[in-house]
């Protein structure tokens, strides 16, 4: 072979080698990235080529699939009571991908998960069409309905947990949206999607998990927990050394009380009527670092995954003394999700043991065999059983004699705490109305609830945790107690 031909042969050989290397690189190294690429439409087409598995509540599917006339997408996702369940399910859209459970458990729901390999293989031999598996949730249908209907046309959120296990029983957010409205690939779906994303009320925001609010006086239960755990209070009925007016440390600013009789008020009385001065002073006595420590034991300053990611609630680690005093009554930079405050309440109701919250009970194959079961898991023990029971006494006193009487249920022990959280520049905006509570049955406490209402339509003077949020919490607790019977 002459020299020019040899060079051409070597060059062509190198090209073939480069082609083989590139092909193998794409097929084995970059395969996952290409599969996950949002521009890879084949993934979406495959996702809707067969009936999608369902998300299930109490044995009933709250999702479905319907056959379409589309040339690319054979099936489209449907939802039962979509707006009520959207904070739980998320959405699955041919045009706009998916989120929340629909996204996290997409492999199970589409049938593409490696855990369903046996089912897919058997379907090949039997000639059956591939089907997706099911996601069985921990939700209580009655509690979810009570939460959603209780919020009504108000803007807000509800989170409810079983303190004994960590199971999420309700997760409501309003205003909401119907995931069915943009599940397809038509012009009307795009219009619905664009309208929802432009809506100033953010109906697609999961307020129960992703919005953080100043918790107001509901945070006082954490301050009380810190005061008890760190030895600043030993008897909840003994007077505290709290002047009225109380001056914030290192300032000339008076802490305003909205209730009378707060001077030297015992912790029990201070919780009953929500004395700002007592809890601000206790927060200062405990110190910022110990307050941070206690808040973090309850879950603050960390994201949670239930399995949907939640925003981290905040207790500032770098604030000064007066800011810590303000934070101890749920103001300044303190912020919490409704789920976080439900976790706090659940830990108190469960004698100091905080269970990890979760909302997927099990995953099922298409023939309903259990693929994976979630077992309850202890997350932390923020407070001792003895101090938890003291907090229960105080919270039950709030409902029996204090600001939380609207949550009382005949024949049931209910503990609660109201909160009215100021926000906006110079506290100019309508406050948020909070209520946290738990109910006790024969087998302990089956439900802890957190409700927040950001009701811009109510008169400022009419906004209170006891007035707006407590009746919603009561309805949710009643629904859970009924299902326990």
- Cβ neighbours of residue 332 under 8 Å, at least 6 residues apart? 316, 319, 323, 324, 326
The answer to whether the beta carbons of residues 436 and 449 sit under 8 Å apart is yes
Give 305's strand partners. 309
Beta pairing class for 309-310 and 304-305: antiparallel
H-state helical runs in 80-235: 82-89, 100-104, 106-110, 117-126, 141-151, 187-198, 207-210, 220-229
What contacts 415, CB < 8 A, 6 or more positions away? 348, 349, 392, 394, 395, 396, 398, 399, 437, 438, 440
Per the CB < 8 A criterion, the answer to whether 388 and 351 are in contact is: yes
Buried/exposed 69-82: b ≥16 CB within 10 Å, e otherwise:
eeeebebbbbbbeb
Furthest C-alpha separation in the chain? 108
| CA neighbor of 357 nearest in space, from 169, 211, 213 | 169
Q: How many Cα neighbours within 13 Å face the side chain of 296? A: 10
Q: Respond yes or no: is residue 277 known to be catalytic.
A: no
CA 332, 338, 340: angle at the middle one, nearest 5? 80
Measured between alpha carbons, how far is residue 161 from residues 186, 246, 391 in Å?
Answer: 39, 36, 18
- Identified catalytic residue from 113, 217, 328, 365: 217
Ramachandran class of 281: left when φ > 0, alpha when ψ lies in -120 to 50, beta otherwise:
alpha
Check: CB of residue 166 under 8 Å from CB of residue 358: yes
Distance CA 35, CA 42 (A): 9
Burial zone of 176 (CB within 10 Å; 0-12 exposed, 13-18 middle, 19+ buried): buried
Point out the residues that are catalytic: 217
């Amino acid at each position: 072979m002459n020299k020019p031909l040899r060079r051409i042969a070597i060059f062509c050989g190198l090209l073939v080698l480069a082609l083989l290397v590139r092909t193998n690189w794409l097929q084995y190294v970059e395969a996952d990235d290409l599969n996950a690429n949002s521009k890879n439409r084949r993934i979406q087409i495959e996702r809707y080529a067969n009936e999608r598995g369902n998300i299930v509540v109490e044995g009933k599917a709250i999702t479905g699939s319907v056959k379409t006339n589309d040339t690319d997408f054979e099936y489209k996702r449907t939802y039962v009571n979509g707006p009520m369940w959207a904070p739980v399910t998320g959405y699955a859209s041919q045009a706009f991908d998916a989120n929340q459970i629909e996204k996290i458990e997409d492999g199970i729901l589409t049938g593409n998960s490696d855990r369903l390999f046996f089912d897919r293989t058997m379907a090949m031999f039997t000639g059956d069409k591939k089907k997706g598996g099911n996601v069985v949730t921990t939700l209580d249908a009655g509690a979810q309905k009570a939460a959603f209907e209780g919020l009504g046309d108000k803007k807000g959120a509800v989170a409810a947990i079983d303190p004994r296990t960590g199971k999420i029983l309700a997760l409501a957010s309003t205003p909401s949206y119907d995931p069915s409205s943009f599940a397809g690939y038509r012009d009307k779906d795009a219009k619905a999607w664009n309208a929802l994303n432009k809506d100033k009320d953010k109906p697609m925001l999961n307020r129960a998990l992703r919005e953080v609010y100043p918790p107001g006086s509901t945070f006082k239960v954490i301050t009380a927990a810190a005061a008890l755990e760190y030895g600043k209070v030993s008897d909840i009925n003994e007077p505290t050394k709290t002047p009225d007016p109380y001056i914030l440390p290192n300032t000339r600013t008076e802490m305003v009380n909205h209730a009378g009789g707060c001077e030297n008020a015992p912790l029990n009385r201070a919780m009953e009527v929500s004395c700002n001065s007592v809890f601000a002073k206790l927060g200062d006595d405990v110190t910022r670092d110990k307050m941070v420590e206690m808040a973090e034991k309850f879950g603050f300053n960390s994201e949670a995954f239930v399995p949907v990611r939640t925003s981290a609630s905040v207790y500032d680690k770098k604030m000064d003394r007066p800011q810590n005093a303000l934070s101890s009554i749920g103001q300044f930079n303190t912020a919490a999700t409704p789920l976080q405050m439900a976790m706090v309440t659940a830990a108190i109701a469960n004698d100091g043991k905080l269970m990890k919250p979760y909302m997927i009970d099990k995953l099922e194959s298409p023939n309903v065999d259990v693929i994976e079961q979630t077992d309850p898991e202890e997350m932390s023990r923020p407070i001792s059983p003895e101090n938890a029971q003291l907090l229960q006494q105080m919270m039950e006193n709030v409902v029996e004699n204090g600001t939380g009487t609207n949550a009382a249920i005949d024949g049931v022990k209910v503990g609660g705490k109201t909160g009215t959280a100021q926000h906006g520049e110079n506290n100019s905006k309508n406050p948020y109305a909070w209520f946290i509570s738990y109910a006790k049955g024969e087998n302990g406490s089956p439900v802890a609830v957190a409700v927040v209402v950001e009701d811009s339509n109510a008169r400022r003077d009419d906004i209170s945790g006891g007035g707006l949020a407590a009746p919603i919490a009561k309805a949710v607790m009643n629904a859970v107690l009924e299902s326990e019977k």
